[in-house]
Amino acid sequence: MVKTQRTLIGILSALAIVSLSAVSCEPTALTSTSTSTKKYEIPFKLSRNKIILPVRVGDSRELKIILDTGMHFEGLLVYNKDLKDSITLENEIEVQVPGAGADSASTAVMADSMSFHMGAVKFTNQRIIILQSDRMAGFTSDGVTGYSLFGNYTVEVDYDKMIITLHESKEVKVDSSWEWLPMTFKDNKIPWIEAAVNINGKKEVPVSVYIDLASSEAIELLVRKAMKFDLPDELKESYLGRGLSGDIYGHEGRIASLKLGSFYLENIPTAFAPAEVRSKQEGADGIIGNNALRRFNLIFDYKNARLYIKPNEYFSEPF
């Protein structure tokens, strides 16, 4: 099997560090667009189907940080170990960071009560973790963030304009062009939605999936002994990517369609990964990645457990 470079998948979908207390985020902004209902805009780039945000920690260079719904604490996880010398951590401790993959956990250093800037927004009282292993060597990004945004704001992702807007309002106002899906959350604050897949064009099967913005796949279906869906007739063995606990191997194929709300995406390239290696989320049938989600503009409303979707200019782009 040829092992080719693949972007990081599922880096924090199961991240758990023993005895780490919760921290709160107190975001402030250098600029705002309104005095009554504040909102802050952050430009982003799309690289290999991943949202890349500009972040600075103190006097560091601008970091390339992936937005990840699997990042369920407030702060940053930096997997470029070379940044350790340019980011000053106060009262750092050593921790073990497990994640997707079959190998052992990664060693890291961690500090709380830190701060960082993302565009014109300053986040304070944050946890920063820097990995000390070479497992992520070769990646063009530097780390991930997530709950600092999703846990404190209604987060609008506009792929047409490449802008993320953080809304402080408790209620988001949308017009009839948006459709919303209910989200559910389990202990680790990762958002789940209900979807449907059609493997071979004959039967639509409902599936429970969670959202992983750090996955560059369209959808990953988890393979185990008892599954709701059949496997496609044509599959090829593949190296699927790298997680915090090592490389992930599985199969690749195509399915007839993926249904999100009332919208259908067709002829979808799909990764079929062994559930025990790829995901530690009990009961998941699959994972929705950003190659599917980037075809919609999105609003993540964690407070009201809603995901708003609206097809954008990439919706009809072939996979």
> Once rounded to an integer, what is the mean pLDDT over residues 239-247?
72
pLDDT above 90: residue 110: yes
The pair of three-digit structure tokens given for residue 191, joined into one six-digit string: 């958002």
What is the residue-averaged pLDDT of the chain?
86
> Once rounded to an integer, what is the mean pLDDT over residues 126-155?
89
> Once rounded to an integer, what is the mean pLDDT over residues 274-287?
89
Specify whether 302 is located in the same domain as 189: yes
> Once rounded to an integer, what is the mean pLDDT over residues 137-155?
91
Domain annotation covers residue 305: yes
Specify whether 72 is located in the same domain as 93: yes
Task: Give 185's strand partners.
Answer: 191
pLDDT above 60: residue 7: no
> Once rounded to an integer, what is the mean pLDDT over residues 121-131?
95
> How many domains are there within the chain?
2
**CATH code: domain of residue 45:** 2.40.70.10
Query: ∠ CA(170), CA(174), CA(178), 5° rounding?
Result: 125
Residues 6+ away with beta carbon under 8 Å from 175: none
Look at the alpha carbons of 172, 165, 287, 251 in this order and tell me if their dihedral is positive or negative.
Answer: positive
pLDDT above 80: residue 157: yes
102-111, 120-129, 277-286, 292-301: least confident range: 102-111
pLDDT above 60: residue 24: no
Closest C-alpha to 220, from 189, 187, 255: 255
In angstroms, the CA 305 to CA 266 distance is: 27
Q: Residue 28: what are its φ and ψ, rounded to 5°?
A: -125, 160
Specify whether 276 is located in the same domain as 252: yes
Specify whether 138 is located in the same domain as 86: yes
Domain annotation covers residue 11: no
Query: ∠ CA(258), CA(261), CA(264), 5° rounding?
Result: 35
In angstroms, the CA 254 to CA 258 distance is: 11
Specify whether 145 is located in the same domain as 208: no
pLDDT above 60: residue 245: no
Domain annotation covers residue 27: no
Q: What is the pTM of this model?
A: 0.87
> Once rounded to an integer, what is the mean pLDDT over residues 233-248?
80
pLDDT class of 287 with cuts at 50, 70, 90:
very high
Within the chain, residue ranges assigned H as helices are 147-150, 275-278, 290-293
pLDDT above 70: residue 53: yes
The domain boundary, picked from 137, 165, 193, lies at 165
Determine the structural domain holding residue 306 and report its residue range: 170-311
For residue range 10-23, what is the model confidence (pLDDT) as tens digits? 444 434 443 344 34
